[in-house]
Amino acid sequence: MKKALNVVESCFKIALIAGTVLLLQACASSSNVQNNFSNSASTGKRVALVIGNNRYINVHGLDNPINDATDISEALKSLGFQVILKTDSSKSATEIALKEFEQFSRNANVALIYFSGHGMQVNGENILIPIDYNFTDPSTGVSANAIQKLMQNATKGTKLMILDACRNNPFNQYAAEAVVPEGKKRSTKKTNARKFTGLAPMIALKEFIVMYSTAAGYEAADGRGRNSPYTSALLEHIKEPIPIETLFKRVSATVAQNTNPPQLPANYTAGLTGDFCFTGCGVEIADVSQTCHLTIGKGIYEGECQDGKANGQGVQRYADGEYYTGSFKDNLRQGYGSQYLTDGTEISGYWEKGRMTKKK
């Protein structure tokens, strides 16, 4: 009898151990799913389509756009964007990329399109020029206005369109002839061609930011170095922990300083419900050179660092869109700060060793 009980007890222990192993495996599996979801949410939060066109078939090529697109792509990846990069893109390749981008943009917190290459306006509509564009047929271009509408419909999050696209328009000599309103005769005169130079102003939509490398109606310099003057300035400032409005000013000042005659970028924004920053929004950083990026717990920290830890002003962001801005000490929230929940609720107050001690 005792022997039988021992056998039963042994079997029970074996079953208990086996059950525990299965439970741990299930928990591990669940953890993996959660991690995969978190990673997916993190990459899906910020998405970008980046296009750079150098080698045009029917008009002269450009030197910088592929470099511009490649460098912007790497900068955006370092800022948490999932990037689709296309270079020397035809009309059909651009349309395929836009469809892919539209899918990625759904439920994204930030959706961004960057284009570097030839661009012009036709009857007030902005056209981005693919490498196989035919100047006698405007439909072979890609409408920036249509892209804006696509982005507006795809996501309720913040949307950015950055166009470094008005480089010494090669179509001026043809534009006045090629683009004629229906029912009117073609003119053989080319005296009105300059009206097609540069891009036209775009209507600013809700939560939409449009950035031009130069003022509407003007041309932008291609640049003599690796990048265009505008993209070079954008790369210089994009990682600074400043709101987008301050970024506009710094990029514009740098472009004007580095071009002769001064090139003046243009920006269009509307309906922004809060600050937008590529990094470090909502905090004042005394020394930009001291900023760093760290993983703290389940969040990503961006801000001031000392001795390899978050010390000073910074931002801690989470995959679901929640974030905290304020003071840190030794990787913990310490001092005054604000927590922003996914529904937009702001909780501000004083923190000590990672916990709020007093609300504002």
CATH code for the structural domain at 288-359:
2.20.220
Instruction: Out of 10-14, 325-329, 356-360, pick the least confident.
Output: 10-14
Question: Which of 71 and 263 is assigned the larger pLDDT?
Answer: 71
How does residue 138 score in pLDDT terms, banded at 50, 70 and 90?
confident
> What is the percentage of the chain residues whose pLDDT exceeds 90?
33
The single-letter DSSP state of residue 203 is P
Nearest-angstrom CA–CA distance, 63 and 276:
32
What's the rounded mean pLDDT across residues 290-301?
84
pLDDT, residue 343, reads 66
User: What pLDDT, on a 0 to 100 scale, did the predictor assign at position 172?
Assistant: 54
What does the pLDDT read at residue 194? 41
Q: Is the pLDDT of residue 207 over 60?
A: yes
Contact 227, 235 (CB under 8 A): yes
pLDDT of residue 215: 75
Structure tokens given for 341: 């929940």
Contact 194, 213 (CB under 8 A): no
∠ CA 36-86-174, rounded to 5°: 150
Q: Nearest 5°: phi and psi at 237?
A: -110, -10
Count CB neighbours of 239 within 10 A: 17
pLDDT value of residue 317: 81
Inform me whether the pLDDT recorded for 141 exceeds 70.
yes
pLDDT digits over 35-89, tens only?
A: 222 222 233 368 999 999 999 998 888 999 999 999 999 999 988 899 999 999 9
295: which strand partners?
300
Strand 46-52 and strand 110-116: pairing?
Answer: parallel
99, 151 contact by CB (below 8 A) = no
Q: What is the pLDDT of residue 287?
A: 58
Residue 13, pLDDT > 80, answer no
Of residues 178 and 231, the one with the higher pLDDT is 231
Residue pLDDT, tens place only, 95-128: 999 999 999 898 788 899 999 999 888 877 888 9
Answer whether 109's CB lies under 8 Å from 157's CB. Answer: yes
Residues near 309 by beta carbon (within 8 Å), at least 6 away in sequence: 294, 330, 331
Structure tokens at 224: 């003599």
Q: What is the three-class DSSP state of 28?
A: helix
pLDDT at site 286: 59
More confident residue, 242 or 59: 59
Which stretch of DSSP H or E encloses residue 208?
A: strand 208-212
Confidence check: pLDDT of 174 > 70: no
Q: What is the mean pLDDT of residues 132-144?
A: 88
Residues paired with 86 in a beta bridge: 51
For residues 113 and 147, is the Cβ–Cβ distance under 8 A?
yes
Residue 29: the pLDDT is 32
Closest C-alpha among 210, 191, 188 to residue 199: 210
pLDDT at 191: 37
Angstrom distance (rounded) from CA 163 to CA 116: 6
Q: How confident is the model at residue 3 (pLDDT cuts 50, 70, 90)?
A: very low
- Side-chain half-sphere exposure of 76, counting CA atoms within 13 A: 26
**Lowest-confidence region among 24-33, 73-82, 183-192, 248-257:** 24-33
The domain limits of the chain are 44-270, 288-359
In sequence order, the 6+-apart residues with CB closer than 8 A to the CB of 315 are 241, 279, 280, 281, 282, 283, 301, 302, 303, 323, 324, 325
186: pLDDT strictly greater than 70: no
Q: Region of 328 please: left (phi>0), alpha (psi -120 to 50) or beta.
A: beta
Lowest mean pLDDT among 35-49, 215-229, 258-272: 35-49
Please give the Cα distance from 270 to 248 (Å, whole number): 14
DSSP 167: B
Pairing, β 158-164 against β 110-116: parallel
Pick from 237, 268, 59: nearest CA to 144: 268
CATH class of 44-270: alpha beta
Beta carbons of 207 and 148 less than 8 angstroms apart? no
- Which of 6-15, 191-200, 351-360 has the lowest average pLDDT? 6-15
Please give the average per-residue pLDDT across 322-335, as a whole number.
91
Between these two residues, 219 and 234, which has the higher pLDDT value? 234
Query: Does 344 or 353 have the greater pLDDT score?
Result: 353
pTM reported for the whole predicted model: 0.66
Question: Greater confidence, 76 or 4?
Answer: 76
* Pairing verdict, β 142-143 and 125-128: antiparallel
Rounded mean pLDDT, 254-273 = 84
Alpha-carbon distance of 47 to 113, in angstroms, equals 9
